[in-house]
Structure 1
Amino acid sequence: MSNTTINTTSSPTAILNDGGEPGYTFPNSFGYYGKFGGAFIPEMLHRNVEELRNRYLEIMQEPSFQQEFNDLLRDYVGRPTPLYYAKRLSEQYKTKLYLKREDLNHTGAHKINNAIGQVLLAQRLGKKHIIAETGAGQHGVATATVCALKGVECIVYMGVKDIERQAPNVARMKMLGAKVMPAASGSQTLKDATNEAIRHWINNPADTHYVIGSVVGPHPYPDMVARFQSVISQETRWQLKQQTGSELPTHVMACVGGGSNAAGAFYHFLDELSVQLVAVEAAGHGVNSGMSAATTQLGKPGVLHGSKSLVMQTADGQVVEPHSISAGLDYPGIGPMHAHLFDSGRGTFLSATDEEAVQAAFELCKLEGIIPALESAHALAAIKEMKYKESDVVVVCLSGRGDKDLGTYMKYM
């Protein structure tokens, strides 16, 4: 990558932040957060990635782009999402717990924020076709939804295993006009869907934009996705100010697979060192069980899907197959921003097992009348691992709703 300085002019919109110095919030001009990031791509994709890197900030700062993006977030997605004080859950854990209700977005998760941004950006780049990968199906549904809204062809790659366990979302994507392509290699989950999407992009570089759903992939994707998702923490700050008198919580908690909902929930707090950032990974059957997706505990530095980060791998560099009951956390890597937060000690990284996540979901149902996605339930499960004061203000990003997971939940009833 050429040594071109990223322009990070400040803006009042959700998609840009003040400042611009490399650090926790921004990568450097090569796309690195600390020692993680960069762009490791085949030659066939160099033109596409360079065009995106050179133009994404310029396009995102255009008044017409900001107007359309923010109008759609308000009128189509239904933002701002509520910051809900969970009274009974707070009484249970003897602290002040707030839920950032991304589950109330149109399509049922935070994924729509990024999908809208990237499809609008792709149109301004003159791209005619959209591809995406999905695990839990929420990113696929969000991308298919925006493509239907904008009249753009959409192909979504999804692992065969995930197609089976997320059947409602597969039906939604097809109803929205998207073509769902099964990935039958490897573990037949999110990693393999990503592999297939990248292969498609290599073969169709001129007219296709790949809408990556998380803060992974080659630069500028991790930064771009984090900016689109930063609306979560931007809203949280002013909502907390209204409800508590202070913009700053003591803790922000979110589940992490690749890490887009966590990146959005953390974004406007990254340089507020008084705020403890808590990321919760999927421990599966147990961190050391051989069936886990706890990347920060099991991973080593390596390159996966276009960037250097922490990757679950064997001694000779072969990717270890991950496992999680939640399709959206079933990934053997983590975004480079999160790898840097872990490596630097800025973030606290915990994990929750399949069983712990399911039990946390049932607890939220019974105490607050909210059915969370299995991904979000991992963040809820980690609440009991933390030690809080009664005066603490804890924000948990409820990244998605549990309609898609009812089949799994019913097995535990």
Structure 2
Amino acid sequence: MAEQTDTWQLPQRQTVPDESGFFGAFGGQFLPPQLEGPFAEITKAYHEIENDASFIAELRYLRKHFQGRPTPVYHARTLSLLNGGAQIYLKREDLNHTGAHKLNHCMGEALLAKYMGKKKVIAETGAGQHGVALATAAAHFGLECEIHMGAVDIEKQAPNVSRMQLLGATVVPVTRGLQTLKEAVDSAFEAYMADYENSIYCIGSVVGPHPFPLMVRDFQRVVGIEAREQFHEMTGNLPDVVEACVGGGSNAIGIFSAFLNDPVELIGVEPLGRGTAVGDHAATMTYGHEGIIHGFKCYLLQDEAGEPSPVYSCASGLDYPGVGPEHSYLKDAGRVQYVAASDDECRDAFFLLSRKEGIIPALESAHAVAHALVKAREMKTGTILVNLSGRGDKDMDYVIKNWGTGGPV
């Protein structure tokens, strides 16, 4: 069983974040004056409904009867035996409706929008999973939906673009800069500033100004709550290690949150991409420093002037230069270890899981699987629980174009 420092204890819910949205030194709300009022309105509305029995009841109903929750925990026995070492288990968020964990917070955000009387939801997306999830929620609740997506990601994630459009969303191509996730966030923020009276900006991860890191974390906690109970029921124990990929960090904080006070090792896996040179990776926690991006403070890949550096990953949902402020806090507190996996390691794990377990993972999730394979061999015995945050349908065109069908594994 992994050891945990005696000094760590999760502070009470009401103090993390504090009233100003800070997780220690990270988070907060750094906004242009015209958005201070709208964000205060969102904060007030969320605190009104977060413990409201009717809101919770409706959200629970939707999770069970619309999303298909709870998603199962699966013992990847063949993969574990082939790999040697610790046994690997998967929390199957790829089986959540729309194919990823993103719908967990999108249904909550859309329900909040209805409560506030908003007519439209606006968001960014990288891999397209958040865009599809929000478009799904908007269709369910009868809301307009506008998704901003980098032109590079539109080409890489064509199936998800089609899904968003079929669900009735307007997809706005972003052609500035690197034309990926960071630029999509910039564009979505601008659209929200122009129409905040009628719309709400539904951020796609545990990033952005307060209260979004808090809100998205709270909506994603269902993953960890389920996984902890399911794993204990299956094995009679808690896992020795819990791993998840980290871009912004919503799927990771969702599963980590249930294990923070347990003697469980927590590992977040970032994208190392093509290597350590600037612009070849998006390993924010590994190579970043404290900075401000998109209205909040976090670890940030940045140049000498403090501007966000260019980033890259084969996984469009991970190529963001910042990271959730709670992850930054947990890194400094020493509670979570953050490591990195390369494109090549991600590719190998993608094909291995596909061929040996019949599960095609999202490239984002394959980063966590890649490191879990390494960790399992190091441990030799014990258990690792991986949050398999999404399925790989969206990545088929990119994978086949760049890596073929993988050949025999």
> Normalising to structure 1: TM-score of the pair?
0.92
1:206 maps to 2:197: yes
> Which digits, 9 at most, give the CA deviation of each residue in 1:52-100, with x for residues without a partner?
2223132121111111101111011100001001101221232121100
Equivalent residue in structure 2 for 1:142, among 133, 140, 145: 133
Q: By how many angstroms is 1:385 displaced?
A: 3.3
Aligned counterpart for 2:256 among listed residues 246, 261, 266: 266
Q: Deviations over 1:265-309 (max 9, x none)?
A: 11111222x111100000110123641100012211111011000
Counterpart residue number, 2:392: 402
- Within the candidate set 229, 232, 236, 2:227 is matched to 236
SS in 2 for 1:269: coil
Please say if residues 278 and 309 of structure 2, whose CA atoms lie closer than 8 Å, have aligned partners that are also in contact. no
Report the identity percentage. 47
What is the aligned-residue RMSD (CA, Å)? 1.4
Contact 1:287 1:297 in 2 (8 A): no
Asked if residue 288 in structure 1 is aligned to residue 281 in structure 2, the reply is no
1:310 match: 299
In 2: Cα distance, 1:34 partner to 1:357 partner? 32
CA contact (8 A) 2:149 2:174 kept: yes
Partner SS for 2:13: coil
Question: Does 2:26 correspond to 1:36?
Answer: yes
* In 2, Cα distance between equivalents of 1:96 and 1:296: 27
**Structure-1 residue corresponding to 2:104:** 113
Once residues 122 and 279 of structure 2 are traced to their aligned partners in structure 1, the CA distance between those partners, rounded to angstroms, is 32
AA at the equivalent of 1:116: M
* Counterpart mapping for 1:12-411 below 5 A: 19-22=12-15, 26-91=16-81, 92-246=83-237, 248-272=238-262, 274-288=263-277, 290-386=279-375, 388-410=378-400, 411=402
Aligned to 2:134, what secondary structure does the other structure show? Answer: helix
Distance (Å, rounded) in 2 between the aligned partners of 1:320 and 1:351 = 18
- C-alpha separation in 2, matches of 1:74 and 1:142: 16
Aligned partners of 1:99 and 1:288: how far apart in 2?
32
The amino acid that maps onto 1:345 is: G
The one-letter code sitting in structure 1 at the alignment partner of 2:28 is: G
Judge conservation of contact 2:248–2:320 (CA < 8 Å) in 1: yes
Are the equivalent residues in 2 in contact too, given 1:254–1:376 (CA < 8 A)?
Answer: yes
Distance 1:316 1:390 in 2: 45
SS at match of 1:30: coil
1:144 counterpart letter in structure 2: A
Three-state SS of the structure 1 residue aligned to 2:307 is: coil
Deviations 1:139-161 (A, max 9, x none): 00000011111111000000010
The 2-side partners of 1:262 and 1:231 are apart by 12
Alignment-mate amino acid for residue 20 of structure 1: R
Structure 2 counterpart of 1:359, which letter? D
SS of 2:258's equivalent? Answer: helix
TM-score by length of 2: 0.93
CA contact (8 A) 1:157 1:181 kept: yes
Which range moved further: 254-263 or 236-245?
236-245
Contact 1:60 1:121 (C-alpha < 8 Å) held by counterparts: no
Question: What count of residue pairs does the alignment treat as equivalent?
Answer: 392
| Matched position secondary structure for 2:97 | coil
